Structure formats: structure tokens, C-alpha cells
């Protein structure tokens, strides 16, 4: 049984790191589950994290790198000697190696590439040339491919001889190329089971395999895997030469990364992952960049109130309804934003269908506006005993609910058509427009009915 005062495991890790004994560090890391490992290593400061990776063997260091957040892995590897860094990166899958190197400073990445074998450096550079969200950026080079004239016997001999090299390779398919590198067929491993050893793989392969181009978008890749129940797809260049393959799992990970990033952006965490182990000033600066846009928009919206001070002074009770209308319109609008973003990502909505979304939202908006406005009207009436105050507050909320769902439903489509990111900009646009409209409605209707309110 652990005593209650046992220090958390990252303190033990720091202690072992001070003594810097490789075998004890490796033995300690062995005792941790992957999630405990991630937790412990992510709690170290940048300096210690780099020292840990350098102190243990490259294969153990690679196992650590696979578990911790990418942003921490990049920072730590940048601080290590290029030779050690190259040895660690060598132990990773090529796609992971490329992801890390692309996020490093150019000079550091080049130094590490120079410390790799020529072949590994060349493959890595070739993969790095693709953006992360196109087919080329999702692909791996760790698959089996052979020239079509090879016999089954030679192929099996090659598999046996290179068993250890191929250990981490994708083996579901074997790609078959022409001597000039063009993809010509695919061979399933179990097709080899029943084949006579002297046959060539050209005779056994499925010819004209499906493939994607290196510049196909992530959505194209998803469409491909939606349509074909395959484990992976080969990628070719514009000369039809085989340049890589994409596993279905790599696509799934990219889609998950994309929705995680969208979640963070809608919540105002912009520019990548924030971890609480990052320096306070860095976290503060990144959050402030987003907040300062919002405060400027808020001041603009609030200036509508400033222009109606006489109405407010006459009926001070109206001030109570300003934040309610602002908040509730935000809630209604955000629901519409979420449904639009979801329908867009499910492919159930085309960015051009602004009119359809607007009609669908307006119907819901009137019903919900009536319900919420009616409720607020009753509360206001009961509070001050003046039915007209209820009418003003209720009407403003009702109308502004319709405005909010109209804006919330359509803005993500318009942003998508403009090539902008709906996750990033929908929220601030929604809030500002609905605040301005809501304040104008409440104070405008109130000034028109002022004699009945005082």
C-alpha cells in the first residue's frame, strides 16, 4: 500500500534525473503506464525534459516522444544534440518523424537531418514537402513494394531476409510497380498463400489498383475511404509513380486532430494546443491576442447603449435586461453555429445553401423566440407590475432570437465560402452582431414606448 504522503511520480522522476543514471531512469519509466508516463514527462520543465530524452536510450526516448504532446516533444528535441535527436527520430514511424521536424526551427531541423543517414534524410525531406492536411502529408513510406517481374519465391525470400527491417511496416498490401516506379498492381498477403513459387507477382496481383494523388485534400481522402472499405490506399505522383501509402488510421487521426483544433478555436484557444506546463507569459499572450479582439468588438457593441442613455435614465429597469438579451442571444446563436458546423462536416450541407439554412433557422427562431420572450415578459411584468415593460423586454428577446439563429446558422457557411475558418470567426461575429441588434431592439422599442414605461 502506498503511504498517503508518497510524492507524485514526477518528483521521483526529477530525483532520478538529477542523478542521471540511465538504467535506473529506464527501469522507472518501464513501471509507468503510457498515460502516467505522459503525465510525468509533461510535468517536467523544458530543460529537464530534454535532458531525460538525451539520458535514456534512443528507443526508450522514442517511446516517450510518442506519448507526450507534440508541442512538448518538438521543444525538447530541439534542445538535444543533433546526433542524439536523429537517433531518437530514427526510432519513430516516418510520418511522426516528419510531423516533429516540420514544427521545429528550420536551422535545427536541418542539423538533425544532416545527422541522419542519407536515405532517411532524403525520405524525410520528401515527405516534409507536403502540407499536413493533404494526401502527401498523411502518407508513410513504410510499406512493401516490389517490381512486377519478381517471382513468389524471390519475394518470400526477401520477406524472410528483411523480416526485422519490415517489422513495423504495413503488410496488409504489397504494392507492385513497373521498373520505372509506376504503380501497376497490388497483392494481398493471403494471395501469396496459395501461389506456386515460380509464378511472377504480375500474374497474381490485382491490376490497376485504386490510388490517390499526393495533393489530394483530407476531404478527398475521407471520401475515398468512405467509398472503399480498405485498410490503406497507395499515393502516386503526377507521373503515376508510387510515392507512399495512407493508412485509414492516419486519416482518422488527422480528422480527430482537425475536430480537436476546431473545439479549441471555438473556445478562444487559438494558435495550437495550450498546456498548463507552458510558461505563463506565453499562455497569457496567446489568450490575450484573442481576448483583445473580443473586447474591441464588445466596446463597439456597447456603444449602442451609450447612445441611448436618456432612455436608460428614464427607465433604469431596462439595464437589467441588457445582459440577459446579450447572453441568451449568444446561446441561441451558438446552437445554430454548432448545427451548421456539424452539417458541413458531415457533408449534409453545401456552403452555398445559405437560403435553406436561413429558412430552417427562422422557423425554429420564431418558436423559441416566442417561448423565451414570453417568459422574460412575464418575469418583467411580475417584477415591476408594468405589462409594457414586459412587452418591451419580451419583444426585444423574441426578435433578437430570430436574428441570432439567422446569423449563427449562416455565418459558418459564408466564412467557409470566403475560405475562412468557421470555428475561429463565427463566435465573435455572432456575439457582436446579436449584441448590437439586441441593444438596439430593447432600447429602440423602449424609447418608442417611453410614455407607457415611466
Angle value at C-alpha 314, between 311 and 315, nearest 5 degrees: 85
Closest distance between a second copy and the C-beta of residue 336, in Å?
9
Site for a second copy in 322-361 (CB under 8 A): 322-324, 326-328, 330-332, 334-335, 337-339, 342-343, 346-350, 356-357, 360-361
Task: Between 321 and 388, name the residue whose CB sits nearer to a second copy.
Answer: 321
- Per the document, the length of the chain is 454
- Taking the least distance from each CB to a second copy, the nearer of 241 and 342 is 342
Mark the segment that binds a second copy (CB under 8 A) among 83-91, 126-134, 238-246, 373-381. Answer: 373-381
Contacts of 367 (CB under 8 A, 6+ apart): none
- Report in angstroms how near the CB of residue 6 gets to a second copy at its nearest: 14
Cβ atoms within 10 Å, residue 426: 29
Beta-carbon contacts of 269 under 8 Å, excluding residues fewer than 6 positions away, are 286, 287, 290
Residues 48-77 that bind a second copy (CB under 8 A): 67, 69
- Sites for a second copy among residues 378-397 (CB under 8 A): 379, 383
The pair phi, psi for residue 311, each rounded to 5°, is -60, -45
283-322 footprint of a second copy as x/- string (CB under 8 A): xx--xx-xxx-xx--xx-xxx-xx--x--xx--xxxxxxx
In the complex, the smallest distance separating the C-beta of residue 234 from a second copy, rounded to whole angstroms, is: 19
User: What are phi and psi for residue 114, nearest 5 degrees?
Assistant: -65, -25
By beta-carbon proximity to a second copy, the closer residue of 112 and 391 is 391
Closest approach, Cβ 368 to a second copy, in A, equals 5
Among positions 32-51, residues that touch a second copy (CB under 8 A) are 33-35, 38-39, 42
Per the DSSP assignment, residues forming a β-bridge with 380 are: none
Binding mask 71-110 for a second copy (x = CB under 8 A): ----------------------------------------
Positions 168 through 187 that interact with a second copy (CB under 8 A): 168, 171-172
CA 342, chain centre distance (Å): 15
φ/ψ (deg, to 5) at 132: -65, -25
Site for a second copy in 246-265 (CB under 8 A): 248-249, 252-253, 255-256, 259-260, 262-264
Are 237 and 213 within 8 A, CB to CB?
Answer: yes
Select from 4, 18, 180, 226 the one that contacts a second copy (CB under 8 A): 226
Select from 22, 117, 208, 363 the one that contacts a second copy (CB under 8 A): 363
Among 59, 267, 387, 420, binds a second copy (CB under 8 A): 267
- φ/ψ (deg, to 5) at 246: -110, 125
Partners of 291 in beta bridges: none
Question: Under rule CB under 8 A, which residues in 189-218 are in contact with a second copy?
Answer: 189-190, 192-194
Q: How far is the CB of 297 from a second copy (least distance, A)?
A: 9
Contacts of 256 (CB under 8 A, 6+ apart): none
- H/E stretch holding 247 reads strand 242-247
CB 34 within 8 A of CB 40: no
First-to-last C-alpha distance (Å) of the chain:
72
Q: Does 162 bind a second copy (CB under 8 A)?
A: no
CB 94 within 8 A of CB 123: yes
Q: Is 435 in the site for a second copy (CB under 8 A)?
A: yes
Amino acid at each position: 500500500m502506498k503511504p498517503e504522503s508518497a510524492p507524485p511520480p514526477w518528483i521521483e522522476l526529477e530525483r532520478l534525473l538529477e542523478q542521471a543514471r540511465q538504467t535506473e531512469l529506464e527501469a522507472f519509466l518501464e513501471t509507468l503506464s503510457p498515460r502516467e508516463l505522459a503525465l510525468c514527462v509533461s510535468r517536467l520543465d523544458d530543460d529537464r525534459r530534454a535532458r531525460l530524452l538525451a539520458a535514456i536510450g534512443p528507443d526508450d526516448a522514442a517511446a516517450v516522444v510518442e506519448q507526450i504532446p507534440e508541442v512538448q516533444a518538438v521543444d525538447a528535441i530541439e534542445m538535444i544534440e543533433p546526433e542524439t535527436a536523429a537517433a531518437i527520430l530514427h526510432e519513430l514511424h516516418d510520418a511522426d518523424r516528419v510531423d516533429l521536424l516540420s514544427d521545429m526551427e528550420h536551422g535545427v531541423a536541418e542539423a538533425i537531418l544532416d545527422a541522419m543517414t542519407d536515405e532517411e534524410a532524403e525520405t524525410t525531406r520528401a515527405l516534409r514537402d507536403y502540407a499536413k492536411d493533404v494526401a502527401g502529408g498523411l502518407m508513410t513510406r513504410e510499406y512493401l513494394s516490389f517490381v512486377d517481374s519478381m517471382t513468389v519465391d524471390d519475394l518470400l525470400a526477401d520477406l524472410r531476409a528483411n523480416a526485422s527491417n519490415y517489422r513495423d511496416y504495413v503488410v496488409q498490401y504489397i504494392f507492385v510497380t513497373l521498373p520505372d516506379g509506376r504503380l501497376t498492381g497490388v497483392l494481398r498477403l493471403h494471395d501469396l498463400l496459395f501461389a506456386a513459387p515460380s509464378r511472377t507477382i504480375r500474374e497474381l496481383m490485382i491490376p490497376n489498383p485504386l490510388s490517390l494523388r499526393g495533393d489530394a485534400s483530407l476531404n478527398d481522402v475521407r471520401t475515398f475511404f468512405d467509398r472503399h472499405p480498405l485498410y490503406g490506399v497507395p499515393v502516386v505522383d503526377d507521373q503515376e509513380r508510387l510515392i507512399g501509402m495512407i493508412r485509414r488510421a492516419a486519416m482518422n487521426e488527422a480528422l480527430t486532430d482537425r475536430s480537436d483544433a476546431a473545439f479549441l478555436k471555438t473556445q478562444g484557444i487559438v494558435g495550437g494546443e495550450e498546456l498548463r506546463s507552458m510558461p505563463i507569459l506565453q499562455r497569457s499572450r496567446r489568450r490575450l491576442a484573442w481576448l483583445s479582439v473580443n473586447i474591441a468588438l464588445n466596446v463597439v457593441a456597447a456603444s449602442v447603449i451609450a447612445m441611448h442613455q436618456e432612455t436608460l435614465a428614464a427607465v433604469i429597469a431596462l439595464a437589467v435586461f441588457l445582459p440577459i438579451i446579450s447572453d441568451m442571444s449568444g446561446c441561441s446563436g451558438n446552437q445554430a453555429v454548432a448545427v451548421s458546423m456539424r452539417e458541413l462536416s458531415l457533408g449534409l450541407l453545401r456552403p452555398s445553401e445559405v437560403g435553406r439554412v436561413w429558412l430552417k433557422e427562422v422557423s425554429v427562431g420564431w418558436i423559441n423566440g416566442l417561448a423565451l420572450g414570453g417568459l422574460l415578459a412575464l418575469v418583467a411584468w411580475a417584477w415591476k407590475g408594468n405589462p409594457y415593460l414586459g412587452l418591451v423586454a419580451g419583444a426585444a428577446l423574441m426578435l433578437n432570437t430570430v436574428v441570432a439563429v439567422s446569423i449563427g446558422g449562416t455565418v459558418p457557411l459564408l466564412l467557409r465560402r470566403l475560405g475562412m475558418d468557421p470555428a475561429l470567426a463565427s463566435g465573435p461575429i455572432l456575439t457582436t452582431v446579436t449584441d448590437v441588434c439586441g441593444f438596439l431592439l430593447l432600447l429602440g422599442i423602449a424609447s418608442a414606448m417611453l410614455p407607457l414605461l415611466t
